[in-house]
Chain A
Amino acid sequence: MQEERDTEATADIDRLIDGAISGNAADFGRLYDLYVERVYRHIYYRVGNTKDAEDLTQQVFLRAWNAISRYKKTASPFLAWLMRISHNLVIDFYRLKKDVTYLDSELMSKDSDSNPERLAEEHFNQQQLRKIILQLPEEQQQVILMSFIEGFSYAEIADSLGKKEGNIRVILHRALKKMRQILELENFSD
């Protein structure tokens, strides 16, 4: 039953994508409704403040509309394509704002955990991890975020980034090794 519903939802999304590719603004608007929160969350994680996250999220959808006629359905979902656009925009954003570092910006947690100590520890760990992830080379960042934060499969990430699945595993391994190095350095300096 769940599978049936998923199939229906996929078919519906496919129909919206087809409509958007053929220039139907209303269908694209519905795709926006479906994905705006995911895109925003991804960007917010990387820039760490509402204003830039909102601005970049808007730009993602404008870019997506401009490029939708070139979009080709592949094994990766439409969201992966939006994530790729988001990734490129975030890279451009940091290139333009070289003098500004957002690594220290705090992600405001809305977690409703009632245990303040656990919440604080968890918050600290996630902040630390986020800072480390944001220090990774761009490609490694993208693979880590798509895999662990967005929950894409390796095949979907590979398809989205135009690489082979084996390459994604290699990038993942390098990313985790790099994270370990940074973590050790930080612990050492502390």
Chain B
Amino acid sequence: MKNIEDILARCIEDIKARRSTLEGCLARYPSMCSQLEPLLRIALSIKEPPSFKPTNDFKNRARVQLMDYIHDKRNVKKSWRDFHISGIRQSWCAGWLKAATIVIAIILVISALGTGTAYASMDSLPGDALYSVKIGTEQVRRWLTANDITRIELELTLTDTRVEEIGVLANKNPERITLAVKGYEKNLTTAINRAANNRDRDISAEGLEMVALAALKHISIIDGIIDSVKVAEKESLRQAERIALRTQFRVLRALAGEDPVRAIEMNIVAMQNRLNRANAAADKGDLIEAENTLEQFKEMYRFSEEISRIPKESGHDTTAIDALNAQAKSAHFEIIKNIYGKVSDEAIASVKQVMGIPVEDNAKENIRQPEKDTDNNIPGQTDQHSKESGIVPDEPGNVPDEPGNTPEGPDNAPEEPSNNPDEPGNIPEEPGVPPEGPGELPESPGTGSPPGSSGSPPDGPPGNGSGGSGNGKS
């Protein structure tokens, strides 16, 4: 080692590693002492800066924006890829048979439109004479849709139609609501199966998230319908809400394996919606609805704990998740404090118990606050997340008046959680959500049954109930 550069570098290394001192180094190279000393003194005075830490709020916000950016970018890429695959290669591979089917389908649609029957059937409702024509037309639309994502979107559009029908029937022919609920369940199940069983993991994950967002939206719409009908009709509407809730749990559970932050964010928004609704119902003096909604919140809270364990158990860093949950807990507790005194003490106590908040004398005003991260404003942050990621929590009492009159549709809903979801088809099913066909989706052993369901399956078509092998791949 002869030159000054090497000697300087060596000395710095040795001093930093405490193998030598400044004086020791200078003594080792007496001929270079005058050159070395000032440089070493400057070098050793450069220290790590004090701990400048970004705020948790920034870290979480930036993370969400980063994931949104990734998902958005991938969606753009995918749409081009789908164009090429479905437009060129897939159509060639499908061969004459598919082409012939499409031609026949087009002829059928044109014929139907020509007679005006199909058009007339568009406004028909379950139980109407023309309703089968409407369903037939929907089937033709399925045949005409080749792209996998578009097929999921179509199915979700049809679930929107079913919810609209539920809304109209609720005020017009409430005795027929059950028929529309069955149709809703069928369409929703088809959408889940199309997403879960897709061989392309990207499409599968994206489809599942679309379904979760649709279910979230439907719950909000059905809330509005429940508010507008008499007590006698409420139960069949609650059945539809339970189906949407089960769907949401099922899909978010699958999503949590790949993108736990996204899954937890969506569940947090759903929980906030429940609390806002409970608060609004309590304000109106509808204690039954308020307490029923608090039950749903409790179920979602337990579910939140369940999906938060998934990344922990697989050894991943859960800092962001823990922060999200802590913030959400704090924000949720703020809303619960507003409900305090409007519903029974037992209802509040049971919610606090589920949340792990000490149950005190509810007559006291000073309910203890859970630990709160002072860097973050939770409700605002959740709102921001929601706006940026397409999930908008409902304002308290801001329930859409008309079914379908919602701020977002499936078109703007999809967002890709990851390109690497679990094996398609291996999604545990919530009890009572029937699969499309045998072997489509395995059922989970009864976890996460939504409140009010009492573990009993809905009236829809029977599930396979086999706890199947999960060979959802077709």
Provided the pairs A37-B54, A107-B49 are in contact, do residues A28 and B70 lie with their beta carbons within 8 angstroms? Answer: yes
Selected contact of B258 from candidates A26, A34, A126, A173, CB within 8 Å: A26
Query: Which of A58-66, A69-77, A81-89, A91-99 lies at the interface?
Result: A58-66
Question: Which residues from B are CB-within-8-Å of A12?
Answer: 315
Cβ B66 vs Cβ A62 within 8 A: yes
B50 sits at the interface (CB 8 A): yes
Question: Which residues from B are CB-within-8-Å of A147?
Answer: 12
A120 sits at the interface (CB 8 A): no
B18 sits at the interface (CB 8 A): no
Query: Which of B35-43, B135-143, B162-170, B395-403 lies at the interface?
Result: B35-43
Cβ A54 vs Cβ B71 within 8 A: no
The number of chain A residues touching the other chain, given as a range, is 35 or more
Interface residues of B in 43-71 (CB under 8 A from A): 43, 45-54, 58-59, 62-63, 65-67, 69-71
Interface residues of B in 173-217 (CB under 8 A from A): none
Interface residues of A in 160-178 (CB under 8 A from B): 166, 168-170, 172-173, 176-177
Interface residues of A in 136-152 (CB under 8 A from B): 144, 147-149, 151
B108 sits at the interface (CB 8 A): no
Cβ B54 vs Cβ A54 within 8 A: yes
Cβ B317 vs Cβ A62 within 8 A: no
Question: Which residues from A are CB-within-8-Å of B38?
Answer: 180
CA distance A41 to B49 in the complex (A): 8
Question: Which residues from B are CB-within-8-Å of A133?
Answer: 46
CA distance A22 to B49 in the complex (A): 35
Binary flags per residue of A1-36, CB closer than 8 Å to B gives 1, else 0: 000000000001000000100111110111011101
Question: Which residues from B are CB-within-8-Å of A173?
Answer: 4-5, 8-9, 39
Binary flags per residue of A107-134, CB closer than 8 Å to B gives 1, else 0: 1111100000000000001100110010
Cβ A29 vs Cβ B63 within 8 A: yes
Majority SS at the chain A contact face: helix
B269 sits at the interface (CB 8 A): no
Cβ A62 vs Cβ B69 within 8 A: yes
A67 sits at the interface (CB 8 A): no
Cβ A169 vs Cβ B9 within 8 A: yes
Cβ B45 vs Cβ A34 within 8 A: no
CA distance A15 to B52 in the complex (A): 29
A60 to chain B, nearest CB (A): 10
Selected contact of B46 from candidates A54, A108, A149, CB within 8 Å: A149
B56 to chain A, nearest CB (A): 11
B259 sits at the interface (CB 8 A): yes
CA distance A108 to B55 in the complex (A): 14
**8 tightest Cβ-Cβ pairs between the two chains A and B:** A148-B46, A169-B9, A173-B5, A176-B39, A109-B50, A40-B54, A169-B5, A111-B50
Residues of chain A having any CB pair with chain B under 8 Å: 12, 19, 22-26, 28-30, 32-34, 36-37, 40-41, 44-45, 53-54, 57-58, 61-62, 65, 107-111, 125-126, 129-130, 133, 144, 147-149, 151, 154, 166, 168-170, 172-173, 176-177, 179-180, 183
Can you give 27 contacting A-B residue pairs, CB < 8 Å? A24-B419, A25-B70, A25-B74, A25-B259, A25-B418, A26-B259, A26-B420, A28-B66, A29-B66, A33-B320, A36-B54, A36-B63, A37-B59, A40-B52, A41-B49, A41-B52, A65-B66, A65-B70, A110-B51, A126-B49, A148-B48, A154-B13, A169-B8, A173-B5, A173-B9, A173-B39, A176-B42
